[in-house]
Structure 1
Amino acid sequence: MTAAAMTEQQMLDALRGGDEQAFTQLVSRHHAAMLRVARNYVACGSVAEEVVQETWLGVLNGIHGFRGGSSLKTWIYRILINRAMSRGKRERRIVPFSSIAPASEGADEGYTADRFLPDGHWATPPRPFETPSDRMALLEFRARLREALVQLPERQQIVVTLRDVEGLSSDEVCDLLHVSAENQRVLLHRGRTRLRQALESYEDSELLTGA
């Protein structure tokens, strides 16, 4: 049975039983995403890889003690973020999430609450981007989006990455980062607004270039 076909309890039972195939499938499912998250906290990709490897060791060592108070994915990400933050502090690259500039900082920079519904989805979706026939243009667009994500204020970047890239729920992100639901919502909205502006700016520049 593949990891995708397993229920969470079946996966837990397999991991606790030393099922190497189940563990390999779990790593395959989450490893790349975990690297992206770890990269938000440390200085380079090689260190992020070390953090993720340490996280998997932590998963193996701690799986018998996991009591199911959260989803398996949330538990894994909690281990990951704790290790990444510890490593980042040693590198003096980051400070604890709660100590980074508060959510009120930059409150007026492009933040328009009416663009979002209470559940965090777009009230008015971004203008559609027509996929260029030239693949290089599409790759350039994606590169600009990644660049915009990296340039977000750190708190916004982490929240947007966890919510929109890795697909964690609001409750999971609040639990992982120890922030209130309101704080998480504001950070997410501001980050999404900045990304939307980057998308629209890129689209406008492409239209002008092609005119």
Structure 2
Amino acid sequence: MLTIEDADIIQGLRRGDESVFASLFDGYQNSLLRLALMYATDQRLAEEIVQETWLAVLKGIHRFEGRSALKTWIYSILINRAKTVAQREGRYNNLTLSLDEQTESNEPSVPVDRFHPDDDHPYPHHWLNGPSDWGVLPEDKLLSDETQKVVLAAIEGLSPNQREVITLRDIEMLSSEEACNILGISESNQRVLLHRARAKVRQALEEYLER
């Protein structure tokens, strides 16, 4: 559903108002480039994908029917174009993703060696080492550039579909519904992918923070 702000932006773009486009560009350019870099092999290619996205937005704005939020529509254009480029570059394979989605639900969220084994009575499946309490860590360490690099590296190491979901939800701060619409996946699949992705990122952070 369109907001009043979205409706005003759409009307401005349809009128050819350059100030409206400039404001939209400033608000979305960095996010679009960040998303494109998930698929592109280098910065130059990512910038080309973003440029093509903006051209598609301007060409398609008169046909945009407002069935989704403007942001969702723009992100969908970017990701579809980025996937096309990535497939051409051999970095993205629909068959692989389809198989990943079928097996995601069988993948443990947390490594099994964090728990007592089945035959370890009286505590089968209980935590051997529970999640760390990060509240006791110095704030400057949690917010340091190095910690952020660990998070970004962990996200980069995720499977493509997990990386897409956690980037849209936790970096771009989109809602579950928006992420599902952009990626064309079900709510249940999105929830599983996000849970797995967050668990892996948390594990990477634990390993770094407990050094």
Give TM-score scaled by structure 2 length. Answer: 0.81
Unaligned runs of 5+ residues in structure 1 are 1-5, 113-123, 206-211
CA drift at 1:12? 1.1
Answer yes or no: is the 8 Å Cα contact 2:97–2:160 preserved in 1: no
Q: Distance in 1 between matches of 2:42 and 2:99?
A: 20
Cα deviations by residue, 1:119-143 (Å, 9 ceiling, x for unpaired): xxxxx9962353338x9x8111111
Measured after TM superposition, the shift of residue 103 of structure 1 is 5.0
Rounded to whole Å, the distance in 2 between the matches of 1:89 and 1:144 is 27
Map residues 29-178 of structure 1 onto 2, 5 A cutoff: 29-96=27-94, 98-99=97-98, 101-102=100-101, 104-105=103-104, 107-110=107-110, 127-128=134-135, 129-132=137-140, 138-178=144-184
TM-aligned CA deviation for residue 104 of structure 1? 2.4
Whole-angstrom CA distance in 1 between matches of 2:45 and 2:99 = 22
What runs of 5+ residues in structure 2 fail to find an aligned partner? Answer: 113-130
Q: 1:154-174, CA deviations, whole angstroms, 9 ceiling, x for partnerless residues?
A: 111111001111112111221
Q: Which residue of 2 aligns with 1:186?
A: 192
RMSD of the alignment, in Å? Answer: 2.4
Q: How many residues align?
A: 187
| Distance in 2 separating the partners of 1:125 and 1:101 | 29
- 2:198 pairs with 1:204: no
Secondary structure of 2:108's partner?
coil
Larger Rg: 2
Q: Distance in 1 between matches of 2:194 and 2:71?
A: 20
Query: For each residue in 1:95-116, what CA deviation from the matched residue of structure 2 results, as whole angstroms up to 9, or x when unmatched?
Result: 138435225246115179xxxx
- Tell me the percent identity: 41
